[in-house]
Amino acid sequence: MIAPPADRASTEKRVSLAELAFVFLKLGTTAFGGPAAHIAMMQDEFVRKRHWITEAEFLDRLAAASLIPGPSSTEVAIFIGQSKRGWPGLLIGGCCFIIPAAVMVTVFAAVYVRYGSLPQVAGILYGIKPAVIAIILQALWSLSRSAVKGAWLAIIGLAAVALNAVGLAPLLVLAICAVAASAEALFKMRRTVRLSAVPQFTGSVLLGTAIGAVAVPVSLLRLFLSFLKIGAVVFGSGYVLLAFLRAEFIDHLHWLNQKQLLDAVAVGQFTPGPVFTTASFIGYLVAGIPGAVASTIAIFLPGFVLVALSGPLLPKLRQSTVASAILDGVVVGSLALMAVVAWQLGRAAIVDWTSLCIFLMSAALVMGFRVNSAWVIAGAALSGWILR
């Protein structure tokens, strides 16, 4: 889709580093709901409201983030920062999105260590969750109009929804979408291509199991290397992260127990910003503030490196017919996975008439009146706190 001249000009507007930092700090403080909600809020902020980036550019960066390990929404933030101001923007965009959540999680960890339990936030979560679903649906509607460029891509998207719904791994779904989209491009080019193997976008890691019940001595270096390893190989949601954390910190190092790990993941889920800030909580439990800082840097560092390496390749990929088709397939597959997540979250969030009313009101505000998603989240949180 070719952007109109006005839209193209708006995306070329030079953004100051201070403005970039302010916007990402705001998102890092208000982006509740996990990666799908973060991506929806970024689309609202950067595509619809500020016109810093076109929908096509946003979708390309979402597709690239889906194919590399690490927290996808944080990597989209890093991509956007890089596209606006190069290396300084890359660092500021990513850090300002991460820091608010990391600070909040560390504060929760300090309270947890002192009192042995977490503050009650049920009412706030009760209000936020339905609003998050409305924001995700608005973003899906807007992005799908740019992403679904023809009947074949629509079919690929529907197939991706079905494959993910029956339990196929997200990375395998994206690989199938990429192959299916490239097949159409190859057919149109009337070339005979022998596909010897389907590309496999997988990450693997050997997380050993300790023999016996003796804990490995705690050290900042070992803590840093453990989270660096996890950040370099984990694809998928916070639930995938949970499996890696359990293998490393309970089974292998014996630094945590089951309750501490579940509480750490819970804090990462109900605070805004990346779920991977669970690392900040665990780092504080293990080694105080130095541990929180080391763990946070380690788990996010691979994402910065991978974005820096892959960012310059995106425009070149669009110049190739086949590579562009593959990217289109991954974009549609990513939106399909986002739709499945929205359905799963919606079933858990909209549980009674009150939550349904919050959802409908939030949907009306973001879709009908184009209210900024951060204000919608704040209003929903206040409503949930009052009602509960």
Chain segment 236-259, per-residue pLDDT in tens: 555 557 667 888 898 888 999 887
The model carries a pTM of: 0.71
And the tokens for 192? 């005979």
The pLDDT of residue 243:
67
Q: Based on the fold, state whether residues 178 and 87 are members of the same structural domain.
A: yes
Q: Based on the fold, state whether residues 335 and 189 are members of the same structural domain.
A: yes
Q: Based on the fold, state whether residues 284 and 316 are members of the same structural domain.
A: no
Q: Based on the fold, state whether residues 356 and 231 are members of the same structural domain.
A: no
The pLDDT of residue 339:
85
Where residue 90 falls among pLDDT bands split at 50, 70, 90? very high
The pLDDT of residue 192:
42
Tell me: pLDDT of 200 over 50: no
Q: Based on the fold, state whether residues 230 and 179 are members of the same structural domain.
A: no
Phi/psi at 134 (nearest 5 deg)? -60, -40
Nearest alpha carbon to residue 269 among 158, 105, 44: 105
Q: Which domain holds residue 139?
A: 5-200+305-387
What is the share, in percent, of the chain residues with pLDDT greater than 90? 36
Q: Based on the fold, state whether residues 235 and 281 are members of the same structural domain.
A: yes
Boundary-marking domain end, from 239, 269, 298: 298
Tell me: pLDDT of 382 over 50: yes
Tell me: pLDDT of 5 over 60: no
**Mean pLDDT over each residue of the chain, to the nearest integer:** 82
Q: Based on the fold, state whether residues 293 and 313 are members of the same structural domain.
A: no
Q: Which of left, alpha, beta for 86 (phi over 0: left; psi -120 to 50: alpha)?
A: left
In a domain, 352, yes or no: yes
Lowest average pLDDT, out of 4-18, 114-128, 225-239, 305-319, goes to 4-18
Q: Based on the fold, state whether residues 277 and 314 are members of the same structural domain.
A: no
Tell me: pLDDT of 334 over 80: no
Phi/psi at 3 (nearest 5 deg)? -75, 145
How many C-beta neighbours within 10 Å does residue 129 have?
24
How many C-beta neighbours within 10 Å does residue 350 have?
19
Tell me: pLDDT of 126 over 50: yes
Residues 315-327, mean pLDDT to the nearest whole number: 81
Residue type present at position 44:
D
The pLDDT of residue 290:
96
CA-atom Rg of the chain in angstroms: 21
The pLDDT of residue 13:
67
Boundary-marking domain end, from 298, 331, 346: 298
Nearest alpha carbon to residue 44 among 16, 14, 23, 17: 23
The pLDDT of residue 196:
42
Residue 286 burial (10 A CB sphere; 0-12, 13-18, 19+): buried
Residue 366 and residue 135 in contact, taking contact as beta carbons nearer than 8 Å:
yes
The pLDDT of residue 204:
36
Residues 48-64, mean pLDDT to the nearest whole number: 90
Nearest alpha carbon to residue 244 among 270, 264, 274: 264
**How many domains, in total, are found in the chain?**
2
345: CB partners within 8 A, 6+ apart: 33, 34, 36, 129, 132, 133, 136
And the tokens for 15? 């953004």
The pLDDT of residue 12:
60
Boundary-marking domain end, from 264, 298, 332: 298
Phi/psi at 318 (nearest 5 deg)? -70, -15
Q: Based on the fold, state whether residues 178 and 57 are members of the same structural domain.
A: yes
In a domain, 138, yes or no: yes
